Structure 1
Amino acid sequence: MSDIDQKALADKAQLKIEKRKRFEQVFPLLVDELTSYLESEQMPAEAIDWFKRNLDYNTPGGKLNRGLSVVDTVEIILCTDNATGNLTRQLTDTEYLKAAILGWCIELLQAYFLVADDMMDQSITRRGQPCWYRVDGVGNIAINDAFMLEAAIYFLLKKHFRSEPYYGMLLELFHDVTFQTELGQLIDLITAPEDSVDLSKFSLKKHHLIVVYKTAFYSFYLPVALAMRMAGIQDEALYKHALDILIPMGEYFQVQDDVLDCYGKPEDIGKIGTDILDNKCSWNINIALAHATPEQRAVLDANYGRKDSACEAKVKEVFAAPNIDVAGRFAAYEKESYEKLNALIDALPEGAGATAEHGGLRRDVFRLFLGKVYKRAK
């Protein structure tokens, strides 16, 4: 690699650090607003302290890709010259703050889902630390804490966006996407309950439904749709374009996540993979079921979803068998997905919906997302 290339990579890494740092600096302001509301309602000090601890423990510790994507998308739409495709200005402080608040609202939604999901799955760690419900003194209080994380979203939206013409659309997006995600969680839970292993309920079609509804809508479509609303894009056809690109991208992301759960390093992914132990309807097991011999199927039936590391090891042996080769099939799936997603992005009219105020919905929005997830290791 040349010195110029190395410098470009270093500059890009530094910019990423600076963007994250600026985004992180907004969160304490929102925590202050939320805790000040509790104070105004004369909540006792221990309740205020608990809520602050809940917010700080569960919200800011992840990769923040969803929240940062709102800011990046708003910047691309509002600050791009439609003729050249170059950024011509920076977001104003007001624009940045509004975009960052929407980003943090998605991170609060993510925190709400994770706190609840970890309890349902009886997970051990999250983001390199104990799951919230496993923290001393928390336990089942985490159920109410999850509700409070969700409620914080609507407090912040009302405080900062009530006077905006798109306020109703923001509420609609959060309500719709929350319901869609919970539908995905429902299908997941009834298909693969931890205490009742029945691999005949599994299928790649069922897996598709689970990942689209449980992950793709809130992780991929929501950040872009929120940014589009804030930027003033009103053409509903463009929201359909965005959906058609971002939903398959979200499915690809979740298949990656399934593979990383099995093969990723805990220090990289921030958790101990438990999909096999937890009887998850993952891409890995569905690929194995589709290609297993009767003897291999018997091994999977006998060992999948058992809280036993020896059983887990036997399942992984089947995954690695030459006729199944989960890792190899994923490599082929990843290549195919990348090519299909690039074709969908290329089909989007560049700068669609552009106005005098913004450069429109550009392909860069989607390439940014794809660049963050393609061949990720965590």
Structure 2
Amino acid sequence: MANQNGATADLKSTFLDVYSVLKSELTNDPAFQFTDDSRQWVERMLEYNVPGGKLNRGLSVIDSYKLLKEGKDLTEEEIFLASTLGWCIEWLQAFFLVLDDIMDNSHTRRGQPCWFRVPKVGMIAVNDGVLLRNHIPRILKKHFRQKPYYVDLLDLFNEVEFQTASGQMIDLITTLEGEKDLSKYTLPLHRRIVEYKTAYYSFYLPVACALLMAGENLDEHISVKDILVEMGIYFQVQDDYLDCFGDPKKIGKIGTDIEDFKCSWLVVKALENCNEEQKQVLYEHYGKENPANVERVKALYNDLNLQGVFEEFESKSYEKLTTGIEAHPSKAVQAVLKSFLAKIYKRQK
């Protein structure tokens, strides 16, 4: 295991080295005449928003590409290019989060104030979000323009960005202020929000990048997309579950889905399984910030045995995903999908 951890640490430090190269290229982009002030602003904005997360999405491009190469040692160029695509996903994530936090009026992100809450940043963060989004094609153009799959990469990022923004829209218009209506919350709605807002960019995009680099045609891998989207939905259901039943020490945050009137899998299942009296309890207490209201909802979740309902969902999802993965004709693709599933199955954080 020590070797495994050592290899992971090496991979992460190589990955971070590539970030430094990309940051330097972007802050010296010949398409714009930087002043000292503007260069410093972009550097500080990137440092604050891009490399601070867990980097799972970015690193999984390299992991997936390695598995597709079936144990062959990667060249330095391959490691650099796979890392660069990984960073494009981290840039996309940063762009979404900077703007998400403004829309949600959030206070903290990754243990520090949201970027727009930093003194002297404020609404400049909107333009910073636009800049982050525009950095992606700059990176792709510089490093992939000569590659046969360049246009496919541009297409892929554009499509996934559109899907994610559309998922965010469904989420936002479902929870309009002053229009809290639990009767809208159904399993199909929850699924649509999650599929578009999370599954495409978090699960499908890293693998699709690796497949393109390996010379594959994405049109021939629709089943891979379907499995990864299912995995993304399973992941979000886990997230919804952990928000309420997880250990805050392990997940690193205190869940607020109940207070925030989120279209969470738990509330959808509660609405499906409760009687009229219990439904009234939900309508009365869900979406209120008072701890007593939150406790009342949690007590109802316990009465309805939602932990048991979740455990059943988890084992059925795992079974269905494993069957789908094992039906894939390519052992290398199976290995990629299995490694994704192993990372998330029965996770506690």
| Same-fold call, TM cutoff 0.5 | yes
1:34–1:265 Cα change, 3 Å = farther
Is the CA contact 1:123–1:274 (under 8 Å) kept in the aligned structure 2? no
Is the CA contact 1:252–1:334 (under 8 Å) kept in the aligned structure 2? yes
Unmatched segments (≥5 aa) in structure 1:
1-8, 81-86, 352-360
Count the aligned residue pairs. 349
Q: 2:265 aligns with which of 283, 293, 299?
A: 283
Post-superposition Cα deviations, 1:22-50, rounded to whole Å, max 9, x if no partner, equal 21221111111111127x62233222222
1:295–1:28 Cα change, 3 Å = same
Distance apart, 1:266 and its partner CA: 4.0
Post-superposition Cα deviations, 1:307-363, rounded to whole Å, max 9, x if no partner, equal 333322222222222xx2222211111111111111011000134xxxxxxxxx431
Distance 1:215 1:44 in 2: 37
2:297 matched residue in structure 1: 315
Distance 1:138 1:328 in 2: 46
Distance 2:28 2:207 in 1: 30
Is the CA contact 1:76–1:365 (under 8 Å) kept in the aligned structure 2? yes
1:345–1:42 Cα change, 3 Å = same
Percent identity among equivalent residues?
Answer: 50
The code of the aligned residue for 1:247 comes to V
Distance 1:140 1:284 in 2: 34
Does residue 375 (structure 1) correspond to residue 335 (structure 2)? The answer is no
Is the CA contact 1:197–1:304 (under 8 Å) kept in the aligned structure 2? no
1:53 matched residue in structure 2: 44
Is the CA contact 1:64–1:107 (under 8 Å) kept in the aligned structure 2? yes
Is the CA contact 2:202–2:232 (under 8 Å) kept in the aligned structure 1? yes
Q: Secondary structure at the match of 2:270?
A: helix
2:200 matched residue in structure 1: 217
2:9 matched residue in structure 1: 17
Distance 2:310 2:155 in 1: 36
Over 6 Å off, 4+ runs:
none
**Greater RCO structure (CA 8 Å; 6+ sep):** 1
Distance apart, 1:142 and its partner CA: 1.7
1:309–1:287 Cα change, 3 Å = same
Is the CA contact 2:259–2:289 (under 8 Å) kept in the aligned structure 1? yes
Is the CA contact 1:127–1:269 (under 8 Å) kept in the aligned structure 2? no
1:268 matched residue in structure 2: 250
1:52–1:266 Cα change, 3 Å = farther
Distance 1:139 1:271 in 2: 24
Distance apart, 1:290 and its partner CA: 0.9
Greater Cα shift, 186-195 or 22-31: 186-195
Greater Cα shift, 111-120 or 9-18: 9-18
Q: CA RMSD in A?
A: 1.7
Q: 1:334 aligns with which of 314, 317, 321?
A: 314
Does residue 172 (structure 1) correspond to residue 155 (structure 2)? The answer is yes
Is the CA contact 1:71–1:103 (under 8 Å) kept in the aligned structure 2? yes
Is the CA contact 1:193–1:279 (under 8 Å) kept in the aligned structure 2? no
The code of the aligned residue for 2:43 comes to K
Distance apart, 1:194 and its partner CA: 4.2
Is the CA contact 1:216–1:247 (under 8 Å) kept in the aligned structure 2? yes
Is the CA contact 1:60–1:107 (under 8 Å) kept in the aligned structure 2? yes
